[in-house]
Amino acid sequence: MDTTSFTKKSIGGVATMEPALTPPITHAQTTFAKKTKIGTGKSKTKKRDIPEGLWTKCPTCATMIFDKELDENLKVCPKCNHHFPIGSRERIHSLVETCTFEEMDAAMASVDVLGFKGVATYASKLEAYKKNTTLKDAVVTGLCKIGEQRVALGVMDFNFLGGSMGSVVGEKLTRLIERGTEKELPVVIISTSGGARMYEGMFSLMQMAKTSAALAYHAQHRLPYISVLTHPTTAGVMASYATLGDLILAEPGAMIGFAGPRVIKDTTQAELPPGFQTAEFLLDHGLIDAIVSRREMKAQLIEYLNFLAVRKKAAAS
């Protein structure tokens, strides 16, 4: 009681509430300093957690990388820039503005049309991959925002049957491209694939023509298509939509080709040049336009998309 009357005397009048508040604030500051000490205690517990994590050895430079660090670095080796495979969901997360991804045809799943029987049936393979990857097929498609631009985005996933292109991959991408045309949006497809899905025979080969036709229709509307090739992009996918981009980008070190090097060597009876079928070799020979590191991919895509949008506006006016 004595102290409150004391402050009242010194300031008085309307401001009586303030002096009563000011001294505790200065005290509070000192208690904040004490709180940070508690904070350092928390980081000690984090340090204790580290040894429980898993480590991955980089196949290029043999550095042991802590998995959490690798995830934070978008699965790129911080020492030598080796690009590890990345899942479709993680990649979408790394490119798209938060909460803008509206997935299309999420429930579409492959059917064993041919009743394919090999070492294992196609039906049993599909079941196993669905369970292990929690994906329905080898591509995820949807509309989203990358930077300021609305984009029709398709991202392939190598974890699902080697990113092979069956009816579902072809159909989902075709619907995506058609939606892009309808809504006048640029299309971005990030490819990784071993090629057409042999379990679907002719049905998978048809997808090459179907996706290419949808892209031709998209191009007729003077809309841009950016194709991003990641390790590996081969065979039927490489021979259709992956190399039809107005702009073709690739990740460093990605293997890109149609047939495998051994087949080409046997057919041509010639020695293949060093670095054959790598992104760097294909950049030198004019097949692709740029090599973009995964960590710079979003910023680069934003730059290209903004540039193309400005050009489109200028052409329209």
Nearer to Zn ion, 61 or 109 (CB): 61
The SS3 of residue 55 is: strand
The SS3 of residue 36 is: helix
Site string for Zn ion, 73-112 (x = CB under 5 A): ----x-xx-x------------------------------
Residue 171 structure tokens: 């159909």
Tell me how far, at minimum, the Cβ of 68 lies from Zn ion, in Å.
16
Tell me how far, at minimum, the Cβ of 156 lies from Zn ion, in Å.
24
Judged by CB under 5 A, does residue 56 bind Zn ion? no
Nearer to Zn ion, 50 or 62 (CB): 62
H helical segments located in the chain: 2-11, 17-49, 67-72, 88-95, 122-133, 167-182, 201-220, 235-238, 261-268, 279-284, 294-316
Nearer to Zn ion, 76 or 237 (CB): 76
Tell me how far, at minimum, the Cβ of 62 lies from Zn ion, in Å.
7
Judged by CB under 5 A, does residue 28 bind Zn ion? no
- Residue 292, classified by CB atoms within 10 Å of its CB into exposed (0-12), middle (13-18) or buried (19+), is buried
Nearer to Zn ion, 55 or 307 (CB): 55
Tell me how far, at minimum, the Cβ of 292 lies from Zn ion, in Å.
18
- Binding segment (CB under 5 A) for Zn ion, from list 17-25, 27-35, 53-61, 173-181: 53-61
Q: Which of 61, 106, 213, 310 binds Zn ion (CB under 5 A)?
A: 61
Nearer to Zn ion, 164 or 230 (CB): 230
Q: Which of 7, 60, 73, 300 binds Zn ion (CB under 5 A)?
A: 60
User: Please, what's the b/e burial string for 200-239 (b: 16 or more CB within 10 A of its CB; e: otherwise)?
Assistant: beebbbebbebbbebbeebbeeebbbbbbbbbbbbbbbbb
Nearer to Zn ion, 77 or 235 (CB): 77
Whether residue 141 contacts residue 104, with contact meaning beta carbons closer than 8 Å, is answered with yes
The SS3 of residue 245 is: coil
CA 53 – CA 64 distance, rounded (Å)? 12
Total number of residues binding Zn ion (CB under 5 A)? 7
Tell me the CA end-to-end span of the chain in Å, nearest whole number: 76
Can you give the length of the chain in residues?
317
What does the binding site for Zn ion look like in residue numbers (CB under 5 A)? 58, 60-61, 77, 79-80, 82
